[in-house]
Chain A
Amino acid sequence: MLFEAAKLTRTFKGREILNLSQFKLEKGKIYALIGANGAGKTTLLNLLALLDKPTSGQLFFCGQEVQYNRQQLLHLRRRIVLVDQHPILFTGPVWKNVEFGLKVRGIAKKIRRERTEEVLALVGMEEFYLADAHKLSGGESKRIALARALVIEPEVLLCDEPTANVDAENQEIILQILKRINRKKQTSILLATHYLSQSRRLAHHTLLLEHGALSETIDPA
């Protein structure tokens, strides 16, 4: 099992945002997380990305209980990547953004360059290698953020509304990339989306989140 959670809750200023009595995600699958604004999708993604700590409950990743100590968090976080709904790119050229995850892992410069070029080609942005990251359009920024996440070949890719505020052409490109990396590299994917059509097309399982609780799982017909 990829993720397993029991009685997982998250409260902010006394208000319960998330309450999952039981939650399981399998390895190698694509999951879509559907819910209205404020349903708790982003909170759940932040918890699964280990960027936030639950108020109560237990979370297991690949059978290992998350203890939330600095050492373990760093080790586990390096296997999971979250692509934000509105990703922010670091100041500097695109290549520096994309290779960031490799650089912090101490990967050699030559390999970093090769993998950066490969992943930029994968997202169809190879001609933007030297471009200033802050001069890209919204759709281009999302593709670069996706490339930045994919370059480190994560076991789990969490995407918060990857196609929100993106034109139709870029939406299609992003969905195709997600499908391809799941098929080729067995990357487990959980994407939060508003569109049931997208989840039907892409996901193996669809989770419906309502008022912080999972109300049902919609499996493809």
Chain B
Amino acid sequence: MNLLLDSIQSAFLLLLACDPELFSIVGVSLKVSCISTLIASLVGIPVGFLIAHSNFYGKRLLLTFLNTLLALPTVVIGLVVYSFISRRGILGPWELLYTQKAIIIGQVILIIPLVTSLCIAAISKIDSRYRKTALTLGATHLQMALVILKEARYGIGAAVIAAFGRVIAEVGISMMLGGNAKGFTRTMTTAMALEYDKGEFVLAVALGLTLMTIAFGVNMLFHFFQGRTEVDAI
């Protein structure tokens, strides 16, 4: 117990001292997580809209497949991406392995199904009269889609926040594809794992506290969006 309390105390001192190593790690984590969330959102939101608003053969199967992908372990993604970007892989000449780009690729693959599934759920809940009203008032299909997306904005926002929460806390992809190189690909979770291995708890606890603070902030946002959706539904 004393070890934990001492570590927490030292971790606070490290945070207050604005330790450059700590902030570098947090910076890398935020950077890769934000970029991967942005890319996944740019793909997942339109795809989610198209799936939610189309009726095609095999739609149920596709939804089941997407939901199955939500349970995809990060190490599996790490392995698959590794096989493509390692020196012997198809994308080997691009030298992506152990770079931030590699982490981003893996994280994007991880959260695209999450963003897409949650967007499908959010958009499917929107009253079909919005579509009908927009079209009868002369909207093009793109303008109609924007109306629907606007009405589903809280649900979509919650999907994006949930995806960000997923990537900022993952460790498998960052470790396997990033390689935990100090100052380059060391993220909060990989640094915590390393510090734990070394038996150095102070930095690990400080990073843990930072990660929890970010997670708390993300969850607060998520609940805010959820609350807004429920209020809107009343």
Contacts and interface: CB of A to CB of B under 8 A. Distances in A.
B129 A70 contact: no
B184 interface: no
Contact of A78 (B132, B138, B150, B151): B138
> Which 9 pairs of residues, A with B, have the shortest CB-CB distance?
A101-B137, A88-B129, A78-B138, A82-B136, A104-B139, A104-B143, A104-B138, A101-B138, A49-B136
Contacts of B137: 81, 100-101, 104, 148-149, 152
B147 A77 contact: no
Interface string B107-144: 00000000000000000000101101111111111010
Contacts of A70: 141
A185 interface: no
Contacts of B150: 90-91
B130 A88 contact: yes
A13 interface: no
Interface residues of A, number: 23
Interface string B133-167: 11111111101000100110000000000000000
A152 B136 CA distance: 11
A86 interface: yes
Interface string A197-211: 000000000000000
A78 B134 CA distance: 11
A87 B140 contact: no
Interface string A149-176: 1001000000000000000000000000
B147 A74 contact: no
A124 to B, nearest CB: 21
A51 B141 contact: no
Contacts of A149: 136-137
A77, A149, A152 — most chain B CB neighbours (10 Å): A77
Q: Is the interface of B mostly helix, strand, loop or mixed?
A: helix
B129 A74 contact: no
A129 to B, nearest CB: 19
Interface residues of B, number: 18
Given A88-B127, A88-B129, A88-B130, A77 B151 contact: no
B232 interface: yes
A49 B138 CA distance: 11
A70, A80, A90, A149 — most chain B CB neighbours (10 Å): A90
A140 interface: no
A51 B141 CA distance: 12
Contacts of A126: none
A184 interface: no
Contacts of B134: 100, 104
Interface string A81-95: 110101110110000
Contact of A87 (B133, B141, B147): B133
Contacts of B135: 51, 77
B130 to A, nearest CB: 6
Given A70-B141, A90-B147, A101-B138, 14 more contacts: A77-B136, A78-B138, A82-B132, A84-B129, A84-B132, A88-B127, A88-B129, A88-B133, A90-B150, A90-B151, A100-B134, A134-B232, A149-B136, A149-B137
A207 B54 CA distance: 35
Contacts of A84: 129, 132-133
Contacts of B232: 91, 134
A105 interface: yes
A114 B173 CA distance: 57
A109 B96 CA distance: 49
Given A88-B127, A90-B147, A152 B138 contact: yes
A90 B56 CA distance: 28
Contact of A86 (B129, B130, B140, B141): B129
A148 B129 CA distance: 15
